[in-house]
Copies of this chain bind each other. A is one copy, B any other.
């Protein structure tokens, strides 16, 4: 909030620093996917990223800050994808596009946000985006579509789900009938 955010970093030192910071965020997501939030520690993330342990504390104020930053990054990415969707087909493709391990990791972070007051904004952002999409795609059945999307995403995380199966459920839930126009 207080720091200036240049559109492109010209300072070579800062650019390397920013890269390493992102590598730590990626490593964090991989560790969560493998071992869950309980598996996160400064040293484990550092090892996963191939950097010394102290690097974590240089780029993040605390391990919790690392976790929260990872959550925000993941959420930003998904919100952008959600907002780009306008059809049931696109929605099915999005839900089926991520691997199970990554989805499980993202749900772990989602639950973290659900439990902590200081992260409610992240949950609310997701909720608003999903509700917006639901109203956009199926104006009369927005609440139903929102629930189905949440459910399908959970099934994709836990048991896996292919695109055509997801689409069939989405159509079934929104009252789509064979021969109707998209979505």
Which A residues fall within an 8 A CB radius of B?
34, 36-38, 40, 100-101, 104, 107-108, 110-112, 114-115, 123, 127, 141, 143-144, 146-152, 154-155, 157-159, 165, 168-169, 172-173, 175
Out of B115, B148, B165, which one reaches A148, CB within 8 Å?
B148
B148, A147: Cβ atoms closer than 8 Å? yes
Q: A114-B158, A148-B151, A151-B151 are in contact. List 20 more A-B contacts (CB 8 A).
A: A34-B115, A36-B115, A107-B107, A107-B111, A111-B111, A111-B158, A123-B158, A127-B159, A141-B172, A143-B168, A143-B169, A143-B172, A144-B173, A146-B151, A146-B155, A147-B148, A148-B173, A149-B151, A150-B154, A151-B152
> How far is it, in angstroms, between the C-alpha of A64 and the C-alpha of B29 when the chains are bound?
22
Q: Which of A34, A123, A169 has the most CB of B within 10 A?
A: A169
Q: How far apart are A80's CB and chain B's nearest CB, in angstroms?
A: 21
Number of copies of this protein chain within its complex = 2
Given contacts A141-B172, A150-B150, contact A157 B112 (CB under 8 A): no
Smallest Cβ-Cβ distance to A100: which chain B residue: B114
19 A-B contacts (beta carbon < 8 Å):
A36-B37, A36-B111, A101-B115, A104-B111, A104-B115, A107-B111, A108-B108, A114-B158, A123-B158, A143-B165, A143-B169, A144-B172, A147-B155, A147-B169, A148-B148, A150-B151, A150-B152, A173-B173, A175-B175
